[in-house]
Structure 1
Amino acid sequence: MFKKVSRDPVHSEIYLYPLEILVADTKVVQRLRFLSQLAGATMVYPGATHTRFAHSLGTMHIAGIYARNLFDDHSRIRLIRLAALLHDVGHGPFSHQFDDVVFKKYGYEDGHDEFRDRLILEKLPEEMKRVYNTYNSRLKRAVEEDVTKTVGDLPIEEAFQEIAKRVVEIFRGEETGSVDFNVIQGPLGADRLDFLLRDSYHSGVGHFAPMNVDRVLRNSLVRVKDGKEILCYHVKVVDNIYSILFSRFMMYKNVYFHKTSRAADLMIQEMLSYACEILNLEERLKDLDEFLELTDYSILKELEMKGDERVKKLINRFKNRDLWKMVVERPFSAEGFDPSELSLSAAQNLIDRIVENIRSVLESGDVEDEDKKILSDICERKDDYFRIDTPYKLTIFHPDEFLQNNVFLYDPGSDEVLTVDEYVKKYPAYKLMVSNMIQIVRIYVTEDVREILYRYRVVPEDGRRAVTRW
């Protein structure tokens, strides 16, 4: 079958077949060239300027290896690869920061997943038709051949609509933990495997991702449990699975949740908060054509043109890497409950303690005049000075993650399908690999007043001394 090759620094060569070429050429996918993969982390790792477009191609590539190992069905393999290619199209500018601010503000509970499905169903078929009409006769015939093998002998426009529906059905498999969904976005799905390989490569920390991905993919298999297909992994690759999950932990600890990466992310979130009103994002989200025009670059440019001095100052600081500074970091780890339940109250308590300590210092009278002005201003405008960050929870190997996604281990010796928890109980040595959830709480200051805060010892000692790279 006709194919094109995309050269890739992570996977060497990525093949694209006719339908994939067509979908990749649509505006729905090409827009991903202008969405950064790592947002704030680029301020710490200057090589990490790769895009969601490159990641989407890599995810398609890994999903294809998975699917060919599991199935001997052209249609199923092609649709899985297309779903992998399209899995990120619903992201807004700065990706997860847009989720946390804009989608959340306007009540889009499923955030970029909701917009992904809308774009695939409402925009993708017409975009496929537009691009198809620009192709030469050779490429058109190749697309038609691929279409017939994938959805049958349908009129081309009807076929494009059918493909869109079937791709969205794969994503809706998240609710039931379908095999096809887990191949793309499960605990060991193509999405996760590519972003770990790609992000570590571009960040210059490839030593955090020494993963034998091929071995895990080769030892994936489909079994039937309670009358339903499930995705399993041969028990002999448990150590390889642990290596992947540990790599994920190290990437979150050192890259995604790096204290300076998160400072940049928080500033992006504040810029997006301003953008909601200034750029009328609520109305623009209602129009998918308007949404497709939103990119990292367009948001910053529009804000610079339309924002007031406060907004322009924030953008200028961001562009010049004059970032907010961390003053307190606290990790929480607990067994039996979700540590995020404590995080916000703990963070607010830390700020209250800092302000209380400042007031005590001011009352003592033993403060230089210039310092007194700054400390008094911090007390009066604490909401302007302090920012709370409680990033996502971290874990290394949590059995529930697999169980909730309907992913299992398979022992051919006993012909048993096992949950990860059952396997750990059977082989207690692996109990050491199972971790509790860790929640990180950090306090940042929007102006660099760290020196004066430390000089007067107003920051709680155990928080001040935190120097990890979470």
Structure 2
Amino acid sequence: MMIKDEIHGNIYFNELEERIVDTPDFQRLRRIKQMAFTYLVYPGANHTRFEHSIGVFHLASVLSRKLGLNEDDAQKVRLFALLHDIGHLPFSHESEKVLEPHLGTHENIGRKKVLDGEVGTILNESWNAEEIMNLENAKIGQVVCSDLGADRMDYLVRDSANTGVAYGVIDTERIIHTMEMEENETANGGSLLITEGGLEAAESLLIARFLMFSTVYLHRTVRIAAAIYHKAIQGAISEGFELEKFTTMNDDEILSVLSGIPSASSYVSALLGRKLYKEAFSFKPSETDPEKLQMKIKKLEDAFKQKYKCDVIVEYPSGFFKPIDFKIKFDTGIVEPISRISDIVAALKTSEEKRRKVMVMCPEEMRDKISEEGKRHAIPN
């Protein structure tokens, strides 16, 4: 089977891979947006987890050949790449942010979905499904999920192309060409590294990731839409909605269900009609402990609700920009973390810290009053 992809061109699948792609669990990914509510700001951002999964599959295949993996290991990597996102909930990470304490991560959901379902049955005919789904913890799994892996490269390039911004443009060919697998004595040790000739291309990946996060993934309107969706899910939880249903539904199905739940319906209507809350004000928190910060955010949210008798959401982008620190191998054979040799890494970290802010959002008609409140009084930190 061959699929023509907008980013990578023709992508080829063998018979086993085709059977997996044709399962209902994999086809469900066609109806889960890769970038959740980003389409409300960037109308082209309607691509799906299906497209991303086959893109990661393709890049993992290319990387496997470059790294000289044997035939069996290369096939395992291809299968793992194909299935790495099969457990995503509707609207991808936005559901997971609320439901992880109840359902686990999308990796855990995907592992269970595969091992207990049709995909696992197909895999077990010739491979070990459990081994494939646990490849993240193996050395060869780094081809997909490391800081330099196929997953990160595909989403940066694909998301950039579909939003129409230039920030995510990276030289994937150069990065792959200069990539090696670090030698390590332990079975699961070692990681992907870049040789000296690829340093600038690797730095461009870091810059692209930072800019995509700060200007696209965390655009203020995207943050507001996501926060409204989180409130809809929380409303469903409060009314006893069976959360396991999230693992089988797609984007449209979950919005349809949530629209019928009284405490969630108004939030769904706001999303569907793009009648979103507005940013009243933002501020940089001084609290650095995540748990204490969340407690203070909840206290501030409750205080605004009580005073103004309206719905107010206070949100902070936790896990905004997790640092990555892959290795560079110099021509002399010395291997160093990029954070030690690149001024760009330190600059990005400093810039990221400055941009993280708590956002207070509310209905448009209340924005001016609440905004004035933020200007008049010191915000509790």
TM-score (norm 1): 0.72
CA change 1:235–1:323 in 2 (3 A) is same
| DSSP-derived class of the 1:327 partner | strand
DSSP-derived class of the 1:159 partner: coil
Q: Tell which deviates more after alignment, 433-442 or 182-191.
A: 433-442
Alignment of 1:313-392 (within 5 A): 313-331=266-284, 340=290, 343-344=293-294, 347=297, 379=307, 381=309, 384-392=310-318
Quick one: which of 143, 161, 170 aligns to 1:211?
170
Q: Is the partner of 1:94 in helix, strand or coil?
A: coil
Matches within 5 A, 1:258-297: 258-276=219-237, 278=239, 280-282=241-243, 285=244, 293-297=248-252
C-alpha displacement at 1:232, in angstroms?
1.7
Count of aligned pairs: 374
- Residue number in structure 2 paired with 1:444: 361
Task: Confirm or deny: 8 A CA contact 1:27 1:127 kept in the other structure.
Answer: no
Q: Which residue of 2 aligns with 1:221?
A: 180
Q: In the TM superposition, what is the alpha-carbon distance from 1:220 to its structure 2 partner?
A: 0.8
| Conserved? CA contact 1:31–1:292, under 8 Å | no
Residues 80-114 of structure 1, C-alpha deviations (whole Å, 9 max, x = no match): 1111111111111121122121232x2x4x42111
2: CA distance, partners of 1:66 / 1:58: 12
Question: 1:135 maps to which residue?
Answer: none
Deviation of the 1:323 alpha carbon = 0.5
What is the alpha-carbon distance in structure 1 between the residues aligned to residue 72 and residue 124 of structure 2? 16
Alignment of 1:136-175 (within 5 A): 158-160=124-126, 162-173=127-138
**1: CA distance between counterparts of 2:45 and 2:142?**
27
Cα shift at 1:71? 1.9
Q: In the alignment, residue 280 of structure 1 is paired with which amino acid?
A: F
Shift of residue 164, structure 1, vs aligned partner: 1.3
- 1:459 equivalent to 2:378? Answer no
Q: Distance in 2 between matches of 1:220 and 1:328?
A: 44
Matching of residue 417 in structure 1 with residue 340 in structure 2: no
Matched residues in 2 for 1:19 and 1:351: separation? 51
What is the rounded CA distance, in whole Å, between the counterparts of 2:185 and 2:71 in structure 1?
Answer: 27
2:98 is the alignment partner of 1:101:
yes
Determine if contact 2:109/2:247 at 8 Å carries over to the other structure.
Answer: no
CA distance in 1, matches of 2:278, 2:131: 47
Aligned position for 1:365:
none
Deviation of 1:68 (Å): 0.9
- Aligned equivalents of 2:125 and 2:315: distance in 1? 46
Distance 1:167 1:86 in 2: 9
Match of 1:361 in 2: none
SS of residue in 2 equivalent to 1:225 = coil
Give 1:172 shift: 3.1
- Do the aligned partners of residues 80 and 272 (structure 1) sit closer, same or farther apart at CA in structure 2, a change above 3 Å counting? same
- What secondary structure is seen at the aligned counterpart in 2 of 1:188? coil
2:15 corresponds in structure 1 to 18
- Kept in 2, the 8 Å contact 1:222–1:230? The answer is yes
Return closer, same or farther for 1:45/1:462 CA change in 2, 3 Å cut-off: farther
2:178 is aligned with what amino acid? N
Paired residue type of 1:410 = K
Bigger shift: residues 187-196 or 312-321: 312-321
Point out the structure with max Rg over C-alpha: 1
Whole-angstrom distance in 1 between the partners of 2:175 and 2:34: 25
Assess if the C-alpha contact under 8 Å between 1:92 and 1:112 holds in 2.
yes
Q: Structure 1: how far apart are the matches of 2:378 and 2:208?
A: 27
Verify the 8 A CA contact 1:279 1:303 in the aligned structure 2.
no
Structure 1 residue 7, shift from structure 2 partner:
1.2
Structure 1 residue 21 displacement after superposition: 1.0
How much does 1:57 deviate? Answer: 0.7
Q: How far did 1:28 drift?
A: 1.8
CA contact (8 A) 1:102 1:276 kept: no
State the distance in 2 between where 1:125 and 1:172 align: 20
Alignment of 1:190 onto 2:155: no
Measure the CA separation in 1 of the matches of 2:85 and 2:378.
37
Identify the match of residue 116 of structure 1 among 101, 110, 115.
110
* Alignment partner of 2:204 out of 243, 246, 271: 243
- Change in CA separation of 1:52 and 1:448 when aligned onto 2, cut-off 3 Å: farther
- Deviation per CA, 1:352-385: give whole Å up to 9, x if none: 8x85xxxxxxxxxxxxxxxxxxxxx86163xx52
Contact kept, 8 Å, 1:26 with 1:127, in 2: the verdict is: no
Query: How far apart, in 2, do the equivalents of 1:236 and 1:188 lie?
Result: 15
Instruction: Look up the match of 1:67.
Output: 64
State the SS of the aligned residue for 1:6.
Answer: strand
Whichever residue aligns with residue 420 of structure 1, its letter is I
The 2-side partners of 1:202 and 1:117 are apart by 29
CA distance in 2, matches of 1:183, 1:461: 52
- Matched to 1:197, the amino acid is V
Q: Provide TM-score, normalisation by structure 2.
A: 0.88
**Aligned-pair CA distance for 1:393:** 3.8
- Structure 1 residue 67: deviation in Å? 1.0
**1:300 equivalent among 255, 265, 269:** 255
Q: Counterpart of 1:221 in 2: which secondary structure?
A: strand
